[in-house]
Structure 1
Amino acid sequence: MHPLDSMHYAKPAQAGGSARVSEAVARVIRARSGQAEAPEVKPRDPAPSRAAYKMNRLWLTPSFRFAMRRIVPVAAVLAVVGVWAANEDNRSYVSDQYVMMKSELQNRPEFMVKLMAVDGASEDLAADIREVAPVDFPISSFDLDLPAMLEQIESLDAVASAGVRVRAGGILQIDINERVPAVVWRGPQGLEMLDADGHRVASLSARMDRPDLPLIAGEGAERAVDEALGLLESASPLMNRVRGIVRVGERRWDIVLDDAQRIMLPEENPFAALAQVIAFDQAQDLLERDVRAVDMRNPNRPTLRISEAARDEFRRIKGL
């Protein structure tokens, strides 16, 4: 090796050795002078602590993030509200404020009802409706129990259906579909008007109060009003003499004429039997004679019942 090279490499070694010597000398001098040696500063460890690592791992869990962002704030608010509401004075204050605000809102002029209008009903029925559904005006629309009022109105016999609403202008509107009386029924309770379905409409004090309605009677007549109306319509040629129609044994009908005459119809196919009687009358004035009853209960064998005077006259003529 070249001598210069060895000298070159020797210099750093000598420099390092002299530095260590100088440092050792400095420590000896400081020790002799009573100065404490400065503590050695350790470099900061960039790795997280155990708690921070667990917290970071926990935060990566979706359920934990949801709980911390949504559930925990809500729970905290609810806890505060619960503590505040635990005080009775606070609850009373909230209740009083709610009642006062509700009353002020409901009693505003735009919510007040001042009048009642009843459409589609006769005067008597309208009076009955006002009686069963009394209202002290003015009243707030929030205080009206419309379903209960509707139930009370529809409980009236003369009401087929009804509608109740509050319309603009503070008017309680009641629309009525009134039952139309079709017959007068002489039943156990006296005279009553029935509609075409046999539903009771109203009571009647006297027959002459409704002479325009046909009279039906007999047990079970109210359950066969439609058939009775059909027979009366078929008896239109005799309508000026018809006084009523009677249900017999809940099976068949008797048509009652003036002069106490009767047309006794069969249980089955009474319309054909009635048509046969009308044809006899139109051909031979059957019902103008001294006949008490035309018995058609057996259509194949019609029978006439005549009065006592007619029988006596018949016997006299037969004897001659």
Structure 2
Amino acid sequence: MFALTVKNMRRSHHRVPLAIDDVEDAFVLPRPLRRAVRFLVSLGSGRINIPAHTGTVATVMLFAVTGLYGMSVGGHGQVVAEATTSAAGFAIEDVKVSGNDETSEIEILQLLGLDGTTSLVALNADAARQKIANLPWVENVEVRKVYPRTVEVKLKERKAYAIWQHGAELSLIQKDGSVIAPLRDNKFAKLPLFVGRDAEASAASVEEAFAKWPDIHAQVKAFVRVAGRRWDLYLDNGVIVRLPEDNIDGALARLTKLDKDQNLLQRDIAAVDLRLADRTAIELTPDATLRRQAAVDARNKALKKAGQDT
């Protein structure tokens, strides 16, 4: 019996091989789950120590996440974020605006929506740029956030080229004819005046046409567009010069010669018509017409009397 016991004990030290059927029936966990199972086994057996207050911290975090999610769904996330970052030292305290001659800084501040507690972190620079870009004088704008408390706004403004009168309205225009804003004061009174339909679109061509004739250009008070095809010049002394549709350069050359030789533009005339290339028509003022008629009548009378005497 003793020998039998010993024999059985010896056999217990060796692994008993499983049959093929037993191996097929054994359950093996997928690899991703093995680590989790081992952790749970260790946790249950007490081999892993959980720090004190872990449950409290986890509960607080759960409530915080739940609260933030609720505020986000309710549309209050931006308000909370702004209040939090402002309290952390990111409230906007300085706005630096540059490049603005015609654009008011007050307008820019209003569009930024600053109220003294606005957070630099929460400020949407792209949205602010789009709002400022819609101001009349702004050609382009850059809005930058400079941490921790500064906003930089850099403008490039449009350049006024002339004044355009359309009906009873006066507007400032760029050289390409695009309207900038209504004319509100006398600050731009020295700019050239263009009058009539489509005058703004053709304004740029005038500078090139008059480049060789600065003396005439300096006397022009207004450029009036006629039928969308040609210009009438209203000089500062009241004389109207009617230019042709084509060959403006030739017409201005003729006008310059007449003025130099005969001091034409200083005479008592109402208009000079240069529309025909082979002739120049002069229109007298009403007073000049009366004086001329009186002179003609006096001459005719004198000739008649002289004829009778002979």
Give 3-state SS (helix, strand or coil) of 1:292's partner: strand
Deviation readout 1:247-305 (Å, 9 max, x if unpaired): 11222211111332111122234344223322332233221223322222233443322
Query: Does the C-alpha gap of structure 1 residues 75 and 243 become closer, same or farther in structure 2, counting only changes over 3 Å?
Result: farther
Deviation readout 1:108-132 (Å, 9 max, x if unpaired): 6453321212111126533332344
| Cα distance in structure 1, aligned partners of 2:203 and 2:196 | 11
| Cα distance in structure 2, aligned partners of 1:295 and 1:68 | 101
| Cα distance in structure 2, aligned partners of 1:95 and 1:45 | 55
**1:143 matches 2:122:** yes
Q: Offset of 1:176 from its aligned partner?
A: 0.8
**1:95 matches 2:63:** no
Q: Offset of 1:170 from its aligned partner?
A: 1.5
1:39-188 superposed matches below 5 A: 48-50=19-21, 52=23, 68-69=30-31, 93-96=64-67, 106-107=85-86, 109=88, 111-122=90-101, 125-188=104-167
Q: Select the structure of larger CA radius of gyration.
A: 1
1:272-311 superposed matches below 5 A: 272-311=250-289
How many residues are paired up? Answer: 258
Q: Is the 8 A contact 1:181 1:193 kept in 2?
A: yes
Q: Offset of 1:239 from its aligned partner?
A: 4.3
Query: Does the C-alpha gap of structure 1 residues 47 and 134 become closer, same or farther in structure 2, counting only changes over 3 Å?
Result: closer
Query: Does the C-alpha gap of structure 1 residues 107 and 168 become closer, same or farther in structure 2, counting only changes over 3 Å?
Result: closer
The match for 1:265 is 243
Q: Which amino acid aligns with 2:152?
A: Q
1:185-264 superposed matches below 5 A: 185-188=164-167, 190-205=169-184, 208-231=186-209, 233-264=211-242
| Cα distance in structure 1, aligned partners of 2:30 and 2:279 | 100
1:24-39 superposed matches below 5 A: none
Identical positions, percent: 25
Query: Does the C-alpha gap of structure 1 residues 123 and 265 become closer, same or farther in structure 2, counting only changes over 3 Å?
Result: closer
Q: Is the 8 A contact 1:164 1:175 kept in 2?
A: yes
Report the structure, 1 or 2, having the larger helix content: 1
Query: Does the C-alpha gap of structure 1 residues 52 and 150 become closer, same or farther in structure 2, counting only changes over 3 Å?
Result: same
Q: Is the 8 A contact 1:150 1:164 kept in 2?
A: yes
Q: Which amino acid aligns with 2:263?
A: D
Q: Structure 1: give runs of 5+ residues left out of the alignment.
A: 1-40, 60-66, 77-88
Q: Is the 8 A contact 1:281 1:287 kept in 2?
A: yes
Q: Which amino acid aligns with 1:95?
A: T
Aligned-residue RMSD, C-alpha? 4.0
| Cα distance in structure 2, aligned partners of 1:74 and 1:246 | 89
What TM-score, normalized by structure 1, do the two folds share? 0.65
Q: Offset of 1:68 from its aligned partner?
A: 3.8
| Cα distance in structure 1, aligned partners of 2:233 and 2:200 | 16
| Cα distance in structure 2, aligned partners of 1:54 and 1:247 | 100
Deviation readout 1:207-229 (Å, 9 max, x if unpaired): x4433211111111222221234
Q: Structure 2: give runs of 5+ residues left out of the alignment.
A: 1-10, 38-59, 72-76, 304-310
The match for 1:10 is none
| Cα distance in structure 2, aligned partners of 1:50 and 1:286 | 125
Q: Which amino acid aligns with 2:194?
A: I
Q: Is the 8 A contact 2:103 2:137 kept in 1?
A: no
Query: Does the C-alpha gap of structure 1 residues 55 and 311 become closer, same or farther in structure 2, counting only changes over 3 Å?
Result: farther
Q: Offset of 1:141 from its aligned partner?
A: 1.8
| Cα distance in structure 2, aligned partners of 1:246 and 1:252 | 8
Q: Offset of 1:242 from its aligned partner?
A: 1.9
Query: Does the C-alpha gap of structure 1 residues 145 and 97 become closer, same or farther in structure 2, counting only changes over 3 Å?
Result: closer
Deviation readout 1:47-93 (Å, 9 max, x if unpaired): 7513635989xx9xxxxxxx9445x68999xxxxxxxxxxxx99754
